[in-house]
Structure 1
């Protein structure tokens, strides 16, 4: 009888310590207008599309859109603590830097902001994934090249996955872009969700096993 009680107690401890694969896990998208849905309804963004898909197929996963149009890496860093406190995510996908690049912000400054975000999140025990960002060559070949390279450098330095930039497959198709030539339109959201859903799901599946 005593051995049975010990066995049951040990099993309960294991269940409490080891997170099952089906445990509820959440991911915050910390992005700019490309994720916030500039020019379209919040309910029609690619992030909202993924949320609806997961409600049907992976109810143990949730995704929260904490993106703000016009945001920069400095803006993301400034509001990161509040975002974490409000949503308590298990993972954060950082999609920031485009506005920094379009405004010609210093490469070192962008890299420093991304690094501080990642270090803070890691310190809170939160898994991080980083989006590669690309900008048009308006700022000159050297700046554009250095800008593109900084994301891989940050990801490698902090051992975080670097997710390919979803706009590379969208921006070359005028029928998927708004008239400003910068932002994806309503028709593009489902296509972006098709690209991003398996990548973000893989992140949460990994987090669920940690």
Structure 2
């Protein structure tokens, strides 16, 4: 496990360097506009399917949820939907993952996403924070943003499941201690479900990552879904 965390830390450190030397804000905005255009084109199909399913789940996260670098049916949301259907659930998992989203960005768009759905979801799986880590944002700010999102969902009467992240060792013990407590503390405070580390079972195995060394392959997503789906199914039964 310790070896895996050191590998995780090295990977994040490399990505932090790439971000520091990356595209200008104008280029980033262009990419985001392209993403939003593609997502809008698919919105009608998603809305129709969501309206027909007995259970509606929203997977609200970043590139790890969005299926970055994978075919349309290989991402977290479609694979989770397939796993739950195989378990006998009449479910639609709406993909609300946006690559690059921080917790602040997620907080800004949450109401829009929820209001755009054909009906209120039965469950929101909330997985943000990885990009906060990559940018070295203050854990206190990450926690505040995550808490506001949980509060929004609670106010709407929507069940929540958090999928957590863990800070790599290279960010320092103090930072890690402050960040790593965010998800379990919020889960306890608001009595919501928690899957402690979204990347469990994948981190530490280079064969389960795309060439960028950061995002899971389709096989990696299968492993993640295999661990997450039973907990989701249990929540739906409760």
Range class of TM-score, shorter chain: 0.7 to 0.9
The range that moved more, 183-192 or 28-37, is 183-192
Give 1:96 deviation, angstroms.
0.4
TM-score of the two chains, using structure 1 as the length reference: 0.81
Partner Cα distance (2:101, 2:124) in 1: 16
Report the equivalent of 2:183.
151
Superposed CA deviations along residues 39-78 of structure 1, whole A, max 9, x for unmatched, are 1123211321222233444242221111111111111111
- Indicate conservation of the 8 Å contact 1:54/1:62, yes or no: no
- Match of residue 123, structure 1, among 155, 163, 170: 155
Pick one of 150, 156, 161 that aligns with 2:193: 161
Please give the alpha-carbon distance, in whole angstroms, between the structure 2 residues aligned to 1:170 and 1:66: 22
SS of the aligned residue for 1:182 comes to coil
Determine the C-alpha separation between the residues in 1 that align with 2:86 and 2:129. Answer: 32
Q: Are the counterparts in 2 of residues 36 and 42 from structure 1 also a CA contact under 8 Å?
A: no
Paired with 1:24 and 1:79, the residues of 2 have a C-alpha distance of 25
Whole-Å separation in 1 of the counterparts to 2:227 and 2:97: 18
Of 54-63 and 25-34, the range deviating more from structure 2: 54-63
2:140 is the counterpart of 1:108: yes
Distance 1:118 1:134, change over 3 A: same
- Runs of 4+ residues over 6 Å off in structure 1: none
Instruction: Give the structure 2 partner of residue 198 of structure 1.
Output: 230
Provide the rounded CA distance (Å) in 2 between the counterparts of 1:199 and 1:57. 12
Residue in 1 that maps onto 2:24 = none
Picking from 76, 85, 91, the partner of 1:46 is: 76
Alignment length (residue pairs) = 184
Distance in 1, Cα, partners of 2:94 & 2:109 = 15
Instruction: Tell me the distance in 2 between the aligned counterparts of 1:187 and 1:52.
Output: 14
Counterpart-to-counterpart distance in 2, 1:50 and 1:113: 25
1:200 positional shift: 1.4
Residue from 203, 214, 223 that aligns with 1:171: 203
Q: Which runs of 5+ in 2 are unaligned?
A: 1-52
Q: CA RMSD in A?
A: 1.7
State the alpha-carbon separation in 1 of the partners of residues 69 and 142 from structure 2.
26
Gaps of 5+ in 1: 1-22
Deviation at 1:34, TM superposition (A): 1.1
Instruction: Give a deviation string over 1:170-201, Cα, whole Å, max 9, x none.
Output: 01111101233221112212212211111111
Q: Say which one has the larger Rg.
A: 1
TM-score normalized with structure 2 length: 0.72
